[in-house]
Amino acid sequence: MRLLFLPALMLNGAIFGFFYAWVCSTMWGLDALVPEVAIRAMQGMNGSVRNAVFAPAFFGTGPVLLASAAMAFGLAARRAAGLMAVAGVIYIGGAMVPTLLVNVPMNEALALVDPGRGDAAEVWQAYSGRWQGWNIARTVASGLALCLTGLGLMALDQR
């Protein structure tokens, strides 16, 4: 029966790892580049992220966590249900919503920038710091959701 709950853990772990990689390497690497190159690289990455490999983790984590909570509740595993429900709400509110309301619009605005127009340094400086701040927030939210998911799995036998 526990195997039915593994997709919640796997999807949550995948999206946490995705956000975390941006925190601890990708953005630092881009910040070390010439701004024109950083903008072009970010434009390329943002253009490629909307794909069938990324979509299940980003769009599926919240619904799968909430479905897992419902399933745990149906099994009378109330503690597990509560933990997974809270994980789902935290992921949706703390990672998915900021991505859709902040990071994606910032990415779409950056996609319209011509890096060779002469103000690339100012554009990148304004973009990178704000984008990273919101990415840290969604990393923390998805990491917390992942911890709660793990605790939920461990609580499945508790009634």
What value does the mean pLDDT of the chain take? 95
Distance CA 104, CA 102 (A): 6
Tokens 């950056």 correspond to 110
Terminal-to-terminal C-alpha distance of the chain = 15
Cα three-residue angle 138-141-144, rounded to 5 degrees: 150
Inside any domain, residue 113: yes
Question: Is the pLDDT confidence value at 159 over 70?
Answer: no
- Amino acid 137: pLDDT: 98
- Amino acid 26: pLDDT: 95
- Amino acid 158: pLDDT: 75
**Alpha helices (H) in the chain, listed in sequence order:** 6-21, 27-31, 35-48, 54-74, 78-91, 97-98, 104-111, 120-154
3-state secondary structure of 147: helix
Inside any domain, residue 140: yes
Q: Which domain holds residue 74?
A: 2-154
- Amino acid 2: pLDDT: 73
Give CA 103 to chain center in angstroms. Answer: 10
Read off the pLDDT band of 108 (50, 70, 90).
very high
Inside any domain, residue 159: no
Inside any domain, residue 126: yes
Inside any domain, residue 136: yes
| Number of domains composing the chain | 1
Read off the pLDDT band of 1 (50, 70, 90).
low
Name the percent of the chain lying above pLDDT 70.
Answer: 99
- Averaged over 35-39, what is the pLDDT? 97
Inside any domain, residue 131: yes
